[in-house]
Amino acid sequence: MTRLGIAISLDRCTGCHTCSMACKMQNNVPMGMMWNRVVVEGCESEVQAQGAYPNLTRTYVPVACQHCENPACQRVCPTGATYKDGKGRVEIDYDKCIGCRMCMAACPYNARSFNWEEPKRDPDFNYGDSRVPVRPRGVAEKCTLCKERTDAGDVPMCVRSCPAEARVFGDLDDPNSEVSRRIKEKDAHVLLPEQGTRPQVHYHN
């Protein structure tokens, strides 16, 4: 079996948002929508920090689809549009999606967006991977772990582009993979474990 996942170092993440922008460009994500966002741990605003001057700290937490083993979004999808593929990724069949947004309500990570825009890809602007499907208006969409890239043996664009090398990608079912070793050695954790979704994205210091 193959179960793809990511380990993210919170100590290395500088909050530069390169992952967010690279994801947006790779996947032709519409304006006003993000599949990959960066939030500040324990703060309501990006500008806040923890502690008192001059001893201030700020921890950035990149959040996207967690590609859960037990995805809440899949359980509530009435058409089967949301599914787990053979590599453990949570994907969306856009032809089956009816835009009911039940998956958005069920996701505890707020990882999905609704596409209000008409589909378009500017042929005169090198924006997005031509292998990535143009999503129709009226469907839910989210991080796919860069399915087109990872199917070809590459890594997700957020991993490739991170200047701090905060992300490691690989097969969680392979105990010798770098991502599996990182999770074990760093005692990594997942977001909202009480939800029982068993995310395949792990975080560590």
For residue range 21-39, what is the model confidence (pLDDT) as tens digits?
Answer: 999 999 989 888 999 999 9
- What pTM value is reported for the model? 0.90
Place of tokens 């590459």: 154
* Side chain identity at residue 171, one-letter code: D
3-class SS of residue 188: coil
Token readout for 107 is 């996701």
pLDDT number for residue 74: 98
* Contact of 143 with 65, CB cutoff 8 Å: yes
Beta-carbon contacts of residue 184 (< 8 Å; ≥ 6 apart): none
Tell me how far apart the alpha carbons of residues 9 and 193 are, in angstroms, rounded to a whole number. Answer: 18
Q: Is the pLDDT of residue 9 over 90?
A: yes
For residue range 82-112, what is the model confidence (pLDDT) as tens digits?
Answer: 999 999 999 999 999 999 999 999 999 999 9
Q: Is the pLDDT of residue 45 over 70?
A: no
pLDDT number for residue 43: 54
